[in-house]
Structure 1
Amino acid sequence: MDFELRAAKEKWEKEQREKKERARQRAEREKKLKEEAIKRQEAIEAAHRARRIEEENSALAAQQRQEEAAWLGDGIVFDKEYIGLPVEGSGDKIKLPASAFSDLSSQNAIDKGPMFFRVSGSIDQASASSSSGSKPKQAEDEDERFTHAGVLEFTAEEGFVEIPPHVWQNAGLGEGAPDGIAKVKVSYVRLPKGTYAKLRAENPDFIDVPNHKAVLETKLRQHASLSVNDLLTVQHAGVDYDLRVMELKPGTSVSVLETDLEVDIVGSIDNNQDGSTRLLPLELGKSLKGVVSEGQYRYYKFSLDKSVAKSVAAGELSVLVHLNIEKSDADADADADVYIAGHPLLFPTQHNHQWASNDKGSKVIMMSSSRKEVGEGTYSIGVYGFTGTTRFQVLVEVKQSVVEGPKGQKLVNGGTSSLDSTSQQVEEGFAKCGNCAQLIPQRTFYLHEAYCRRHNAVCKHPNCGVVLRKDEMEKHVHCEKCGQALKKDELEKHTKVFHEPLKCGCGAVLEMQQMVDHKASVCPLRQITCRFCGDMVQAGAEAENVRDRLRGGSISDYRKFEGHESWQLNEHIDSEHLASPSPGASPSPMQVDPVELPVRAAPTTASRRSLSVACPICGMAVHSERDLSSHIDMVH
């Protein structure tokens, strides 16, 4: 009995303990749920507060941006985000969609003159750029990189803006857009007309460009604006020169349209510190040492003043350019060639030069008036590594002109001396050597002839006939293609340099000498100097337009009929240098039609009253120059 009571008591106590434990656990769960509910509520309220604060901040920022845009845009608000597409082109003019024109015209932006836009990456783009470790542009906003641009057209697709390389680079859009597409913010702004600009040449060779300020002026014609820290890339004669905008007045961003802009160009801070300068200055009479690797160039420059150039032109002095090759056991076969050109050609090459020497070993080029015109100015020397790594010394000196005779007695026409015919008459007491054809006194004739036949030999190659010692004659050879006299060890290099086919960028395949002539006078990629501004303009192919073919475009005489000359030069002169004459003013020489052909069967005055252009060949009157081109193509 007692046992059963104890068991029942223990069972009851156990059940009570379990109930208490379940009650405690339930209370803890309820407490925990209440705490979690409170936390969730607090989180929701915090999120609502943060959202409200963010919305208020966004609204405030939008209001500030709108006020800033209105202030920058002089009352015109245009602040849009687009997808930026990089496109080819020069200058800083972008293409916007047609909707942008509607927005701007509705605010009378067209009536306020040229339109300018502040171009920068969007917020996402800027954060991506900063996270990639790029250095932001230091200007008005420390965290945003931007530049300014004009507008070219309103023909882009909706939601897109087409951006040329200059704007794309200076706005830092490429840094956060590895796929070539970036989100871009475009804002309308008003810019003051610039009065002063200070530019720093990143490449010090830009100072050596002839009339470099005119070249820069031509580049700025393609731009509508400039901003501090912008990088301008100026191309001249196939070389790109970078210029950094350091200072602008009256603001950090200015308009360069219809304004007189004073420009100062300063050298780079680290000018020539790392040896990157391509044109090293040479003083007359002082040599410089250098090293050039195979296939590479080292460039030098020297200047001739007016007095030296005058003496050279008179034949009193000659300019000698020495290239002394320093041989070593490590580079016994190393060799280099030398090429020289006068400005505006800054960097002479194998295919584009005025003087050259491709001899093996050390070499000398004599620049005298008897060969090519040598005038006052600056000249460039290009040392080209032909084989191996070549150590050399380059020296330019001015010496009295001397007439150098050829090595050995040269014969022509198979045995006739190269002397004048009157001097070859056999005088009394003289006899002509049957080997070298020289006039020898009769008293020593037999002794000379025996010695001459034993030691000397005559080259049998046509148009050569040079007399050399027999040991030297063994090394004397002629090129099978051009017939030039050479030493045996020079023949391989001569064949490689002068007779290996070379391909020009225009597609022509020529040997070296023909390639030099081609690049100087025929190649459509050659540079032509505009005689008005000094800028280098690409020649281009033969003109397709009849008017351009008739006008020509010779740089030496604009009115001269040169049908093969550059139509691109014509376009350059038309757009940059031919201003419309004022009413009643007589036309300038450049405004007169450059080709005057006889008129045949000219129509009556009455029939031409309503027409504006007459054919220069037959006199037929047509409505426009476009009709004139079609008429000449079909009829003449």
Structure 2
Amino acid sequence: MTFAWSATFTVGAATAHLKGDKIILPHTALEAIIQAHAAAPPPPPPLPDPSYDPTSWDHPPPQQTLDSNGFRKPQELPSPLTFQIRNPANRLLTHSGVKEFSAEDGQVRIPAWMMESLSLAVGDQVMVKFTALPKGTWAKFRPITADYMEILDFRALLESALRSNYTTLTKGEVLKVHQGAKEFGFVVEELKPEPGEAVCITDTDLETLKIGSESQGRIIMETYQRWTVDIPNRASGVQIVVEPREPGDVDVVVSTRSPVSLHDHIWANFESLGPRSILIPAADPDYATQQDSNVLHIGVYGRSPSTASSDSSSNSAGEVDYTIIVRYQDGEDTSLETGAATKSIPSAATDIPNKNAAGYQECTNCGSWIPERTIMLHSNFCFRNNVKCDRCGDVMRKEELENHFHCDHCEKHGHVSERKKHMEVYHGWYQCTCETYETPSLPELARHRRTICPERFIICRYCHILVQQGAPASNARDLIRGLCSHESYCGDRTIQCQKCTQMVSLKDVQVHAQHHEYQRQNQTAPLLCSNQNCVRTKSTNVLGLCQLCFGPYWVPTEDPKHQKLVQRLARKYHSQLMSGCGNSWCRNQHCATFRGREMDATSAATEMMGILKEAKIGSAEGGQTWLCVDEGTTRKKVMAELLFEDMKGVYAMEWCVKALEAEKTDLEAAVQWLNLQAPRKRK
């Protein structure tokens, strides 16, 4: 649905934040655009399908956009809105999008570069007209200064500038982009589709694929068409198949980052015949470890047809039609190599039929196994029509032998039409823009650019800034760590350790932290009093009690067999069981006060003999005692048990007690102390 709207405005002052081609219109302009759109005649109804049969379900009726009342639904406002900007004084024009509708009534605010291009000044009159522009499919830029070779990646720089700031492109306008503090200018020379005077570039660079669905594409010779596909399920590999329609040839390159090209890719297929298939297994490290997104970027590069069958039937516009499909590949398909074309790999399923079978004989020319009764007839026909290559053993018709070639530099062989492309891709001469690496192979150049190229952009692990990685590190330790020269230099900065206040270099922080973790995990747990109701530190005595708990049982006279000590402990147990300690806070399991009932002397003596054995007086392994303690100790014991349960047993009881002592019974602070200081239980 199209509609007409135009208005004349006064040019307001340009502001610094206006970048790209987006203008600011007044709110009254938005109201006028909405009214013009609503008043426009509706589009004509779709023509009836001649194949539609109302008595059959094979061809359903065409879908119509009707509301609940049976009326045609109103069309939505076009998005994005694109406008033609014209200076009526000199008839210069350009095109733009709209940033917002917040200008003053009767004014339009235009970027400074656009005012300069149209020879406009503040206060001049300018005409703004709504214009529906076609979606752009191709653009050609020409640099206007000789220093454009300083740009590291033309495509990435231009795509970033266009995607961020521009809605339209107009033939003949100057596009200004920045790399660092330097500005570069490019003239828009050509645009497609025809007539190519102006195009809309919103959502036109990348095409989106859906897993399992086949899509159609058309690419101009020596240009790219890029696709993106979302792969949320990384447990399965993916297979990408691109099949060009003859005459025509394409290269397929795939990467986890954009932009993808012949020089920057991870997986590629440069075959000349048959479908271009790339299998990326789930175990591929570049595929499995991608963390920044689930998107794969696919680039299809158009080449001129190289097959011998190319004739005048080639696309006169220099375009290649193709189909592309991406699907999950659950099994390990050995017929496909990663990043290569389909190749046959010998297996039980691909063995020669009837080999060594009874009643069959091998043909000495083609190697096929033929029934013995017809071997003479087959041999006569085979030697008369077929020939076997002496170098590779391929069997072909005699008239095809002259079109069979072998590469002098590698083991590649095939149809002569593949020679030119093979030599360009694998035996050409390519120099990286870093000027430190050259190679005859495009795949090797791409490998260099994504691994050790000094111009490769990385996010520094220390300063977290997108920078060039530079040359490899200059010392062996940093090389083993996998650091580039920038990270080696950046990692030499120091930071103070919050635990030991020592100054540590950034690249040693991880090792320093591991040292602290080792010390933490190898700490000796504090030994607690053998009294099961006490949480104080164990002292050196035969009962393993703390000093406070052992005080009543200390014997000043010599007691080599601990008889007096046992007697005192027995009397204490017997008293606890019969009458208790009388303290309401008591939690001693072997105390009458805690139990709420007193015992007679005989029953108390019987139970006392059992718990007396648990003391293991003088034993090296230590025992357990059950003595009543003061209220403060009981409260601390209860809090330690609560903390132990809250931490789900990750830390031992001894460390829970120490945490409470260190943080003065503050439970929240004790939890933090445990997480920072205490060793965890080993599973």
**TM-score band (shorter)?**
0.3 to 0.5
TM-score (structure 2 length as normaliser): 0.38
TM-score (structure 1 length as normaliser): 0.40
Which is strand-richer, 1 or 2? 1
